[in-house]
Amino acid sequence: MAEIPPLEFTNLENIPSIVNGVRQTFLSHKSRPIEYRLQQLRKLYWGLKDNQALILEACKRDLGKSSFETYLTEVGWCMNDIVFMSNNLARFAQDESPPDIAFTNKLFGPRIRKDPLGTALIIGAYNFPIQLSIGPLIGAISAGCTAILKPSESSPAAAAVMQKIIAESLDPSAYTVVQGAVPETTALLEQKWDKIFYTGSATVGTIIAKKAAETLTPVTLELGGKNPAIITKHADARLAARRLLWAKVLNAGQVCVSQNYILVDKEILPVFLKELKVALGEFFPEGAQKSPDYGRIVNARQFQRLKKMLDESSGKILLGGTMDEKDLFLEPTVVQVNSLTDSLVAEESFGPLIPVLPVSDLDEAIRIANEVHDTPLGIYPFGNKQETERVLSQTRSGGASVNDGFFHASIPTMPFGGVGTSGQGAYRGRASFDVFTHRRSITTTPAWIEGMLDIRYPPYTAAKEKK
């Protein structure tokens, strides 16, 4: 098997010329023909497939991910997106007839052309290092854009493998990788872009948006969570426990859409906690640390951040709590908290911490959910139809899964994105094409219509006014 190449940061001095090269390729119109886009998508598909073993190894190294999980959420995920996009690209890229056009205006052949926005910068996050970088890249290629990808430096093995795949598979004049951390990203943001697609924290998202505003560059921001799950007294406690526990053990809870905290009706709390314990035992009979299916925290910095959150919480650990810093292992940990100002509720944990806050009824749960974050990335109500509908109609969020943890995000053809401070813009499925596309309204004025247009030309005589 090939080796994972070492990660080398891009020389800061070279960044302007790298960006300019990719921009010149866009300006040469090379990336626009549908055939070219399909060919690049095909090559990317085979690049991923041929390097599947390396990707599995890289995600194991960076995040301790099991092969099953990496295939499901990274390699297979992206290959599936490429197949969908390739099968539908010609249709997406076709000119559209705009709706609601008056009969007389139809004489001008109104149509909407799908123009590529231009040269895109894609900045990825570490938790799903392949999916969150290659996913947007699929959209950029499909739309006819050229692009530079800046993977997260926190998942270095995956970043290096992506660079290898892109360099070996794609047209290097149109698609390339810049590696680095804050200085390199800052240098990238100094360049001219037609689109910036960023995934990561809201803090950095704000930096990106401010910088982009200086040049009126459009941005898509895929940001963080503080997502609530709400369990009413009518919910199925076993289902809720299994599904929400899974949402926190996948990728060791480093998932932007997983629930940050659970609001549980006091009436169902004892049985829900019992079911969480049962589920944890069923998922990891030998304990999570011994299981090949349970991942690790990405690095010591994030491990320390999670440990501090737990230390600062005034809640009581009910389940888990074992840590092993050398192994970057943090057991799925259920904590009963008493206040919505508790560190585990007020901050995004982005790890396997499962704070449970008892509530008296659904009214209280909805009030707290809206108070902690009025526009989270996801919301997960468990209960009867009437209750879950009430949650949906009295809250806002990027997406929602009823009676599940983030299932909505796993449907590849549904637009995925946040709202308010959890993000702006969406991608996946057709939305990935749209997010890198400008809908250009076009008309053609025929020569023969000149007689009818005569009315618009001065002088505006009394006779014209009468018409």
- The Cα 24–Cα 441 span in angstroms is 25
Instruction: Identify residues 151-170 at the interface with ligand NAD (CB under 6 A).
Output: 152-154
Q: Which is nearer to ligand NAD, 10 or 154 (CB)?
A: 154
Using the contact rule CB under 6 A, the part of the chain among 114-122, 216-224, 313-321, 339-347 near ligand NAD is 216-224
186 binds ligand NAD (CB under 6 A): yes
For the question of residue 69 being annotated catalytic, the response is no
Q: Which position has the token pair 């009468």?
A: 466
199 binds ligand NAD (CB under 6 A): yes
Q: What is the DSSP string of 89-112?
A: HHHHHS-BPPSS--HHHHTT--EE
Q: Which residue is catalytic, options 74, 222, 275, 331?
A: 222
Task: Quote the least distance from Cβ 83 to ligand NAD, whole Å.
Answer: 21
Answer whether 22's CB lies under 8 Å from 175's CB: yes
Using the contact rule CB under 6 A, the part of the chain among 45-53, 168-176, 182-190, 235-243 near ligand NAD is 182-190
Catalogue the long-range contacts made by 332-337 (C-beta closer than 8 Å, 24 or more residues apart).
Answer: 332/245, 332/248, 332/249, 332/253, 332/280, 332/288, 334/273, 334/276, 335/310, 336/273, 337/261, 337/313
Q: How far is CA 278 from CA 85, 268, 271, in A?
A: 41, 15, 10
Question: How many residues of this chain bind ligand NAD (CB under 6 A)?
Answer: 29
- The Cα 196–Cα 222 span in angstroms is 11
Q: Which residue is catalytic, options 256, 331, 348, 387?
A: 256
Q: How far is CA 224 from CA 79, 193, 233, 260, 436, in A?
A: 25, 24, 29, 10, 22
Would you give the binding string for ligand NAD spanning residues 124-143, x where CB under 6 A is met? xxxx----x-----------
The length of the chain, given as a count of residues: 467
Using the contact rule CB under 6 A, the part of the chain among 31-39, 149-157, 231-239, 362-370 near ligand NAD is 149-157
Residues 131, 299, 258: CA angle, nearest 5 degrees: 50
225 binds ligand NAD (CB under 6 A): yes
For the question of residue 256 being annotated catalytic, the response is yes
Q: Which is nearer to ligand NAD, 140 or 319 (CB)?
A: 140
Task: Quote the least distance from Cβ 154 to ligand NAD, whole Å.
Answer: 6
Tell me the residue type at 276: L
Among 39, 52, 173, 201, binds ligand NAD (CB under 6 A): 201
Lookup: tokens for 153: 């430096």
415 binds ligand NAD (CB under 6 A): no
Among 120, 141, 162, 223, binds ligand NAD (CB under 6 A): 223
Using the contact rule CB under 6 A, the part of the chain among 193-201, 317-325, 359-367, 368-376 near ligand NAD is 193-201
Residues 241, 353, 301: CA angle, nearest 5 degrees: 155
- The Cα 289–Cα 331 span in angstroms is 7
* Catalytic annotation, residues: 222, 256
Interacting residue ranges for ligand NAD, rule: CB under 6 A: 123-127, 132, 150, 152-154, 181-182, 185-186, 199-201, 204, 207, 222-225, 256, 348, 350, 377, 418, 423
